[in-house]
Amino acid sequence: MSTNRKPTITGTEIIAHTRLFKVEQVGLRFSNGCEVSYERLRSSPNGAVLVVPLLDDATVLLIREYAAGIERYELALPKGRIEDGESILAAANREIMEEVGYGARQLTHVKSVSLAPGYFSHVTHIVLARDLYPERRAGDEPEAIEVVPWPLKRLAELCVHEECTEARSIAALFMVREQLMGEHG
Amino acid sequence: MSTNRKPTITGTEIIAHTRLFKVEQVGLRFSNGCEVSYERLRSSPNGAVLVVPLLDDATVLLIREYAAGIERYELALPKGRIEDGESILAAANREIMEEVGYGARQLTHVKSVSLAPGYFSHVTHIVLARDLYPERRAGDEPEAIEVVPWPLKRLAELCVHEECTEARSIAALFMVREQLMGEHG
């Protein structure tokens, strides 16, 4: 890899702020002298979790939930924001209790991913949840979430499913399948 | 799958608007009668492309570029917005000419993915680019982009690389590897 030095941030300014979103204008000076002004979204510094809950080594629990951004139901992994003072693994366990009705005795961090790193500070921590036990906690969902058990060996089929489009979920499922294949030789 | 009926949109209102971002408040009435108000980001209706340029069947061309959202260099697939009147495949070809210095004689749509469908309308079309030929077009990047050829068989290594975090790129690489493995039996 070559030698671009990180640009210098010459200034930042919040130019819009709503309940959920904060838009910041950032001035950058690149090491070649080029100066630019970009807009970027600042999200909660806590980040989010996306959980891969394995009912057994062959079956993942997906959820089917209305997605207001794309105005249809989406089939994806359970996820949610990390609350203040909450650890990544505790957030993951809470989210699956709220969204799929299970807790996990074994929680491991798989990878932290970005969404659109050019203009979005958001980080999502992918967590593998195993050794599940039934435990339901009330969430803040406006309607009951459908839980959809999905065989990991049918991952290719999920990738062409029109309701399964979320890049984080697809990436997480492939990475976990890779990990499980490693465990089983 | 069960029977939740799609909620009704009771109203929308733009509550913030910058050069790049539009935040909308949307009222929803779920089929169980529950009413909620969400914020969501509206992005360009054109969408974006993310390209998997194969130098040969064993090697993908990644780029290493500064990402202002996370304030570090990110190793990912080339991508960009679709311009007005431009097709998905034409946008994909233009982006690789600008970012990796190649055009492609063969372009195929792999899958369209969402980023955070709960609150973001954004769609990214993943395109596989093969049969490459050298062609460089000027882009609007503030500094030269590093092109990093990466062997597809080292995908697991890329997944643990600290500079490779973008979920769309990880998902796209796994899906293309799956497709190539299918072709080669």
pLDDT greater than 90 at residue A179: yes
- Which residue bears the tokens 């029977």? B3
**For chain A, what percent of residues have pLDDT higher than 70?**
98
Classify domain B48-183 by CATH number.
3.90.79.10
- What pLDDT does residue B61 have? 98
For residue B185, name the pLDDT band (cuts at 50, 70, 90).
low
- What pLDDT does residue A2 have? 56
Contact between residue B50 and residue B63 where contact means Cβ atoms under 8 Å apart: no
Across the range A90-97, mean pLDDT stands at 98
Nearest CA in chain B to A171: B171
- What pLDDT does residue A185 have? 62
Across the range A11-24, mean pLDDT stands at 96
Instruction: Give me the interface pTM, i.e. the ipTM.
Output: 0.96
- What pLDDT does residue B90 have? 98
- What pLDDT does residue B139 have? 86
pLDDT greater than 60 at residue B22: yes
Contact between residue B52 and residue B99 where contact means Cβ atoms under 8 Å apart: no
- What pLDDT does residue B2 have? 56
**For chain B, what percent of residues have pLDDT higher than 90?**
92
Which residues does A104 contact at the CB level (< 8 Å), separation at least 6?
A53, A92, A93, A96, A129, A130, A131, A132, A133
For residue A4, name the pLDDT band (cuts at 50, 70, 90).
confident
Across the range B95-122, mean pLDDT stands at 97
Which residues does A147 contact at the CB level (< 8 Å), separation at least 6?
A61, A62, A63, A99, A100, A101
Contact between residue B80 and residue B51 where contact means Cβ atoms under 8 Å apart: no
pLDDT greater than 80 at residue B98: yes
For residue B169, name the pLDDT band (cuts at 50, 70, 90).
very high
Q: Which of B12, B22, B23 should one mutate to test binding to chain A, selecting the residue with the greatest count of A CBs within 10 A?
A: B23
Using CB atoms, which residue from A4, A118, A156 is nearest to B67? Answer: A118
- What pLDDT does residue A42 have? 92
**3-class secondary structure per residue, A26-86:** EEEECCCCCEEEEEEEECCCCCEEEEEEEEECCEEEEEEEEECCCCEEEEECCEEECCCCC
Instruction: State how far the Cα of A140 lies from the Cα of A123, in Å rounded to an integer.
Output: 22
**Residue B77 token pair:** 């697939």
Instruction: State how far the Cα of B181 lies from the Cα of B167, in Å rounded to an integer.
Output: 21
* Helix/strand number for chain B, H first, E second: 3, 10
| Residue B130 phi, psi (nearest 5) | -130, 170
Return mean pLDDT, chain B.
Answer: 95
- What pLDDT does residue A173 have? 98
pLDDT greater than 70 at residue A3: no
Judged by CB atoms within 8 Å, which residues 77-106 of B form the interface with A?
Answer: none
Residues A46-62 pLDDT 10s? 999 999 999 999 999 99
Spans of all domains in chain A: 8-42, 48-183
Across the range B49-69, mean pLDDT stands at 97
- 3-state DSSP call for residue B84? coil
A115 at B interface, C-beta within 8 A: yes
pTM score, two decimals? 0.96
Instruction: State how far the Cα of B96 lies from the Cα of B92, in Å rounded to an integer.
Output: 6
Q: Which of A24, A77, A164, A175 should one mutate to test binding to chain B, selecting the residue with the greatest count of B CBs within 10 A?
A: A175
Across the range A62-74, mean pLDDT stands at 97
Residues B143-168 pLDDT 10s? 999 999 999 999 999 999 999 999 99
Question: Which residues lie across from B179 on neighbouring strands?
Answer: none
Interchain contact, A175 vs B175, CB within 8 Å: no
Judged by CB atoms within 8 Å, which residues 1-40 of A form the interface with B?
Answer: 1-2, 4, 6-7, 9, 15-21, 23, 25-26, 28, 30-32, 34, 36, 38-40
Backbone dihedral region for residue B71 (phi beyond 0: left; psi -120 to 50: alpha; all else: beta):
left
pLDDT greater than 90 at residue A184: no
For residue B43, name the pLDDT band (cuts at 50, 70, 90).
confident
Taking only Cα atoms into account, the Rg of chain A, rounded to an integer number of angstroms, comes to: 19
Residue type, A69: G
B122 at A interface, C-beta within 8 A: yes
For residue B44, name the pLDDT band (cuts at 50, 70, 90).
confident
Contact between residue B127 and residue B110 where contact means Cβ atoms under 8 Å apart: yes
CA angle A57/A109/B148 to nearest 5° reads 105
Across the range A121-148, mean pLDDT stands at 95
One DSSP character per residue, B110-147 reads: EEEEES-TTTB--EEEEEEEEEEEE-------SSPPEE
